[in-house]
Structure 1
Amino acid sequence: MDPLATSAAHWPLCTIREDAMALRIPTLRQRRLGAELRRMREQAGFGGSHLARLLGVTPALVSQMEIGKSAVTVARLHEIAEACMCANAPLVEALADMARERDSAWWDEYRATLAAAPIDVAEIEGRAKRLKSFTIGIIPGLLQTNSYATAVFASGFTPLPDREVGRRVNFRLRRQQIIRSGETPYMALIHEAALRIQYGGPAILREQLDSLVGDSDLPGVSLRIVPFATADFPGPSENLIYAEGPVPELDTVQSDSSHGSHIFDSPAQLAGYRAILERLEAVALPERESRDLIRSIAKEMNDKHE
């Protein structure tokens, strides 16, 4: 009888035990590793059962690895890459680094008290080699002041209790450490509309604008404004973060809409967002002119509300 038959009764005992191990609730990072393994398999033209036969495991284990519920060792990763004839050595090594990750990160402390979406954003930012963002009606979270962030959360469509607002604001401010420490280079592309919408009132906005000018001098931070006067506005209607990975294949886009947070990582989606950001950079004001525009809007508000 063929030892690779798909009937579970014929699988080696060690493989059955491997399948029966407790499944975890995967983090975003673990889900991404699994998704990349699935892409690797699909690019090789293999179905899950075929890859399982090549590896000597059950199809169920292949499925659980590809959705991040079963851990992938570095050795297993290399077996999959070899079986799928993946010749992209930089990608395989970057995936191996992901498989080696075992230490908890600061955002893991919040998994019991916050929804998954903000934790996913922190994980994307915290693992990025470089960050870009575009916002059209709001100052990006990585540059918000305490007062501004509080006003944003308090003005949501669904009212939040003060304690929940405080929890979310504290989490957002903690995310900012990666850029305030100079750890991760960051470009913020901000539409002029975001500089004029008064979350919490004019005083809070003036404080926020002054803070933006100061943050634009932080090492590794590039702040550029897309003005109303732009004739060729190529931007999307949603706010987005583009996080560069160790290789382009592991870049990630997170966007916000009225329907919630969305994450994109397919090659076609990443290429589309790269093109959008390139066009936005082409029409955005240079850094010095951007600071001048922020100062002029702040002065205009001071004159109006004195």
Structure 2
Amino acid sequence: MAPRANTTLRQRRLGAELRRMREQVGFGGSELGRLVGMSPAQVTQMEAGKIGISVERLRTIAATCMCVNEPLIAALSGIITEREKPGWWEEYRGTLSDDFIDVAEFEGQARRLTTYSMAFIPGLLQTGAYASAVFAQAVPPLPRHEVDLRTAFRMQRQRLVRSGATPYSAFIHEAALRMQFSGPAVLADQLDALIEDSGQSTISIRVVPFDVGTMPSSSENFTYAEGVIPELDTAQVDTSLGARIFDAPAHMARFRSLLARFESRALSEEETREFIGSIKKEMESKRE
């Protein structure tokens, strides 16, 4: 079987979990290959998501690696047997970078999404005007058609949470609520949209205000995606060089710890609506 030219996020995650199985029992790639009838090159390609395997092969590998986590094995079997049509994001492959495609797939496969945003309103809650203003701030500047393409892609991503298909929680730092990317008018409209979104039963929005005191946190905006089982939870972090995906147990424990602290210190949903409303009034007074 020829290696795949393009791998999906879930194919790479399957490979990563197989690599973890192998490493936890202390096998090298060559040793695992010898035990299950694969060449070292095939093991490497499998763990990179470049080639597929059958459910039978998965179970052979799991048994060889002494993995007795049946829920994990069943979840990985589900990835192998999926025969869904390509996600909507595949239409953009070749016109947007793989980072954009990975983020959309990451969100599309989640059972629940939680974000923390410090620099700007979370992408899944941005208005079109606000999103366009954010993309227009890129350095070096993007051509207008690139700004429009990225904005359209972001708006399409939002259907996931606005439809109620995926429960969504957003922790937003006060700094993000006050950042003006295109003046007070655009921000006021964005804040109004946040208040409206917060009324949906499947969307929770909570603000982390400046005056909570010391707030241990990540310096980056990040999204935590719950998988079909906790072992398949994943996190995505925004960086100046693009999106990074994390799935190592140590990283996931850190993100869970951060979210627990936000949960305990952020304003309630009702307090958040009032808080956002007060900033919205400030912005409206500035545009008059």
TM normalised by structure 1 equals: 0.91
1:125 is aligned to 2:107? yes
Equivalence map 1:200-211=2 (5 Å)? 200-211=182-193
Change beyond 3 A, Cα 1:25–1:304: closer
Partner of 1:116: 98
Q: In structure 1, how many angstroms separate the alpha carbons of the residues matched to 2:222 and 2:4?
A: 32
Q: Which amino acid in 1 is paired with 2:276? A: I
Partner of 1:265: 247
1:158 is aligned to 2:140? yes
1:42 is aligned to 2:23? yes
Q: In structure 2, how many angstroms separate the alpha carbons of the residues matched to 1:22 and 1:198?
A: 46
Q: In structure 1, how many angstroms separate the alpha carbons of the residues matched to 2:115 and 2:131?
A: 17
Match of 2:173 among 191, 206, 222: 191
Q: In structure 2, how many angstroms separate the alpha carbons of the residues matched to 1:172 and 1:205?
A: 18
Q: In structure 1, how many angstroms separate the alpha carbons of the residues matched to 2:242 and 2:208?
A: 24
Q: In structure 2, how many angstroms separate the alpha carbons of the residues matched to 1:237 and 1:125?
A: 21
**TM-fit CA distance, 1:86:** 0.6
**TM-fit CA distance, 1:219:** 2.5
1:33 is aligned to 2:29? no
Q: CA RMSD in A?
A: 1.1
Partner of 1:282: 264
Q: Unaligned stretches of 5+ in structure 1? A: 1-17
Match of 1:67 among 48, 64, 71: 48
**TM-fit CA distance, 1:22:** 4.3
Partner of 1:249: 231
Q: Which amino acid in 2 is paired with 1:69? A: K
Bigger relative CO (Cα 8 Å, ≥ 6 apart): 2
Q: Which amino acid in 2 is paired with 1:188? A: A
Match of 1:92 among 53, 70, 73: 73
Equivalence map 1:166-181=2 (5 Å)? 166-181=148-163
Partner of 2:118: 136
Equivalence map 1:214-253=2 (5 Å)? 214-253=196-235
* Count of residue pairs the alignment pairs up: 287
TM normalised by structure 2 equals: 0.97
**TM-fit CA distance, 1:23:** 3.6
Asked if the contact 1:256/1:262 (under 8 Å) is kept, the reply is yes
Q: Which amino acid in 2 is paired with 1:167? A: L
Partner of 1:101: 82
Asked if the contact 1:232/1:283 (under 8 Å) is kept, the reply is no
Asked if the contact 1:24/1:70 (under 8 Å) is kept, the reply is no
**More displaced stretch, 252-261 vs 35-44:** 252-261
Larger-gyration structure (1/2): 1
Q: Per the alignment, in what secondary structure is the counterpart of residue 222 of structure 2?
A: strand
Partner of 1:148: 130
Asked if the contact 2:184/2:286 (under 8 Å) is kept, the reply is no
Q: In structure 1, how many angstroms separate the alpha carbons of the residues matched to 2:19 and 2:3?
A: 21
